Structure 1
Amino acid sequence: PLEWEGGSGVAYTAVFDVYPEVSLPPIESLKIARPEAQVSDTDLDRMLERLRTQRRSWEAVQRAATAGDRVLIDFTGTCEGEAREDLKAEGFAVELGTRQLFKEFEDSLVGTEAGQERSLDLHFPADFHAGELGGKAVNFQVKVNSVEESLLTEFDDEFAAGFGVKEGGMEQLRVEVRANMQRELEEGIRSATKQRVMEALLAGRHLELPESLIKREVNRSMEQRRLELAHSGFDAKGIELEPKAFEEGARRRVSIGLLIGELIKENGIKADAAEVRARIDGIASTYEDPAEVVRWYFSDPSRLSEVQSTVLEDTVVAWILDRAEVVAETTSFDALLNPGQTQGG
């Protein structure tokens, strides 16, 4: 606030956050487990089954719905006596058993038939994505429009052609899918290793963090969550998110950011310009006009900065791995990239 007295000038009070002193652990003392895995024939077969499942068709049936079926429903939800627009949908497709909706809701749809109407008295799970609804009672009025079962195609040349394989049929498709899986695995290993490096850097350290940084990161995380909900078909504007639910993750990311910043400052680590250009060229190569994509990045400092930050972070990770104790951890494709899935995929 400003204070003024005639002839004495202006006095003001400034309030600002003080960044904490950051002390880094001895990098040589860090122990980091780097995952190692290969794409096995079993992994490949499982991926092909997933691709076939994605390409399945649906056929209406006149029977009660079972797990694996798809039901098309209209529903309206009332919570604490209030009919809510974000709990309303028409023609909503639910594949039973995939947890598109929360478990109690989906379980209540098993056994329904086309044309049926049901009144469901349920409870939202405590960790429901819309935090203010967690654990609350809700009534859904549901109308089942249809019940459908899936039809799987054969593994043949026509199936391979659906993925752009014009010659070589299924054998060539297997070659191309394996190559894609290998690229995905390598990226997964890099990502998991980076996460473990950050965890090792942060382990046992507690920083007094500026509240402004935490608040900014919480707001960024909440906005990202709203975008995810909107992409999933929810009315994100009508969903109230609880800031406290995002604080723990925000504190962790801010802490890591401060530690990395100190590491960069102390050791003069920089993003290599050639690597930045190579990263942009790699991104551009997947587009129809790579040269235009390259120009798009270099024409805007903010877009270029995003790539520079990614390269710098990777450079820091490589710098730490060169000095820390790194041990190999044997794992599998699915354990690394699809944790929690059953062996059947």
Structure 2
Amino acid sequence: MATAVETLEKLERRMTISLPLAEVRAEVEKQLKIRAKTARAPGFRTGKLPMKMVEQQFGYQVETSVLNDKVGRAFSDAATEHNLKVAGVPKIEPKENAEATDFVAFDATFEVYPEVKVGDLSTAEVEKSTSDVSEAEVDKTIDILRKQRVHYHVKGEQGAHGDGGSDLTAKETDRVTVDFVGKIDGVEFAGGKAEDYAFVLGEGRMLPEFEAATVGLKVGESKTFPLSFPEDYHGKDVAGKTAEFTITLKKLEWAHMPELDAEFAKSLGIEDGDIGKMRADIRANIEREVRNRLKAKNKDSVMDALIKVSELDVPKALVEDDIDRLMEMARQDMTQRGMNVKDMPIPRELFTSQAERRVRLGLILAEVVKENNLQATPEQVKAQVEDFAQSYEDPKEVLKFYFGDRRRLAEVEALVLEENVVNYVLGKAKVTDKQVAFDELMGNNQQQG
């Protein structure tokens, strides 16, 4: 049986669960007799151990199991009886200062789900971002795709694409191969020497002074120059110091970008090499990416607005559970990146704010969905999966991937549900349109240079 529910603080509750000792002992004895049938010990046949030995061997384990089972069921029954929506796992401990009676008592401390009050959405202010895709963005993307397929030829040597011009000195965009040696106070230092080292001028792979000294050299020429390492340079032994470098240019190659022709279009999967089809495909891909980024940006804006107009207490237990999930996700991500995180401590507080927001939003979204019947429909889920599939070579395999696994489909349903909430809020709130520059939306990933 359970006592009345006691309110401790906000969402925290406590109840005392009492179990008749006779009932517990009877169940323990029953379980021990079952164990006795298969129990083994040196000198005894299976199932022939004296009960006293069975009790010594399994008594504590069986008693703990019986108590856990009975307390768990009693708590569940009491929660149902009191119409409690329990958040997280209750903390159950033997009751302190319990009087010796025919009952064994436990205190169950737990949290309940909060009442969520979503305010007047017509007062919510949401900034809705929009962005356009012009031909300039298509051209810029094509240039990036061409740069990704750049290849190099030795300057001055005639080939299928020419000889790179009459200027045989190193300049920006050229790939140079050099020998170099650096000295500090006349002494070579670790990492300051290399042979046949290749890099592209202008990519920022080397320190600016090193690149500047290389520009203008011809093959076979050498140059000696001072180089000051920054104070925050990754090599601590040389950080903040000035070295004297000597470089020798051994090979000079010019960059040739593929022509914008049928062969280039075919390299991007356009079988007949039609440039117009290639541009249309690139535009479609850009527009899909822009649409997805705008959707994510506007979703964040809506979620911020929902938080502002909603009132609720957040269960600590749910936040702690979400911190555990975020930490595990972080560990998996670092492991996939090749990092050894087995013994690496990850502070929980790094994830507290994010977990609290996620839990808060989850509770708010659930309330908005319930109040306004915004559940994801099968048709919406199918349309979302088909949209995912468009960006893959074999859309049928993508459909099979999602519809063949209920958990993956549940993830899509969650996305659709969020989108339903976003659209609903945008239809109610004070919405201000904001034009976002393409490069800003894409995080400058599309900029040249």
Q: Which TM bucket (shorter chain)?
A: 0.5 to 0.7
Match of 1:288 in 2: 394
Give 1:257's match in structure 2, choosing from 330, 354, 362.
Answer: 362
* Bigger mean CA offset, 213-222 vs 322-331: 213-222
Give 1:42's match in structure 2, choosing from 126, 136, 142.
Answer: 136
* Bigger Rg, structure 1 or 2: 2
- Mapped contact 1:214–1:251 kept (Cα < 8 A): yes
Match of 2:94 in 1: 2
Alignment RMSD, CA only?
4.2
Give 2:282's match in structure 1, choosing from 177, 183, 190.
Answer: 177
Partner-residue secondary structure (3-state), 1:338: coil
Q: CA distance change for structure 1 residues 199 and 24 in 2, over 3 Å: closer, same or farther?
A: same
- Counting matched residue pairs gives 294
- Mapped contact 2:125–2:431 kept (Cα < 8 A): yes
Q: How does 1:183-222 map to 2 (within 5 A)?
A: 183-203=288-308, 207-222=312-327
Match of 1:246 in 2: 351
Map Cα deviations across residues 11-59 of structure 1 (whole Å, 9 max, x no partner). Answer: 1121222333322121111122222221112212221222223223478
Measure the CA separation in 1 of the matches of 2:328 and 2:174: 33
Map Cα deviations across residues 159-190 of structure 1 (whole Å, 9 max, x no partner). Answer: 22211123345443222211211122122222
- Mapped contact 1:287–1:293 kept (Cα < 8 A): no
Map Cα deviations across residues 54-93 of structure 1 (whole Å, 9 max, x no partner). Answer: 22347899x99x999799xxxxxxxxxxxxxxxxxxxxx9
Match of 1:54 in 2: 148
Measure the CA separation in 2 of the matches of 1:255 and 1:67: 51
* Bigger mean CA offset, 27-36 vs 298-307: 298-307
Partner-residue secondary structure (3-state), 2:109: coil
Query: How far apart are residue 109 of structure 1 and its match?
Result: 9.5
- Give yes or no for the alignment of 1:30 onto 2:127: no
Q: CA distance change for structure 1 residues 94 and 298 in 2, over 3 Å: closer, same or farther?
A: farther
Match of 1:111 in 2: 210
Measure the CA separation in 1 of the matches of 2:371 and 2:310: 18
- Mapped contact 2:126–2:431 kept (Cα < 8 A): yes
- Give yes or no for the alignment of 1:336 onto 2:428: no
Measure the CA separation in 1 of the matches of 2:334 and 2:209: 25
Per the normalisation by structure 2, the TM-score is 0.54
Q: How does 1:112-151 map to 2 (within 5 A)?
A: 151=255
Measure the CA separation in 2 of the matches of 1:247 and 1:161: 49
Letter in 1 for 2:351: F
Q: Which has the higher contact order (CA 8 A, sep 6+)?
A: 1
Query: How far apart are residue 281 of structure 1 and its match?
Result: 3.8
Measure the CA separation in 2 of the matches of 1:124 and 1:214: 40
Map Cα deviations across residues 215-254 of structure 1 (whole Å, 9 max, x no partner). Answer: 2222332333334444444444465433222222222222
Q: CA distance change for structure 1 residues 94 and 216 in 2, over 3 Å: closer, same or farther?
A: farther
Map Cα deviations across residues 262-304 of structure 1 (whole Å, 9 max, x no partner). Answer: 21222232111221222234445646372x6545534543222
Match of 2:419 in 1: 314
Q: Which ranges in structure 2 are unaligned for 5 or more consecutive residues? A: 1-92, 156-168, 178-197, 215-228, 240-249
Partner-residue secondary structure (3-state), 1:16: strand
Partner-residue secondary structure (3-state), 1:328: strand
Measure the CA separation in 2 of the matches of 1:309 and 1:300: 15
- Give yes or no for the alignment of 1:303 onto 2:397: no
Per the normalisation by structure 1, the TM-score is 0.68
Partner-residue secondary structure (3-state), 2:117: coil
Map Cα deviations across residues 102-153 of structure 1 (whole Å, 9 max, x no partner). Answer: xxxx77697399xxxxxx997699xxxxxxxxxxx96699xxxx99988342
Match of 2:269 in 1: 164
- Mapped contact 2:173–2:255 kept (Cα < 8 A): no
Letter in 2 for 1:10: V
Query: How far apart are residue 322 of structure 1 and its match?
Result: 1.5
Partner-residue secondary structure (3-state), 1:326: strand
Measure the CA separation in 2 of the matches of 1:49 and 1:175: 15
Letter in 1 for 2:150: R
Measure the CA separation in 2 of the matches of 1:7 and 1:124: 72
Letter in 2 for 1:288: D
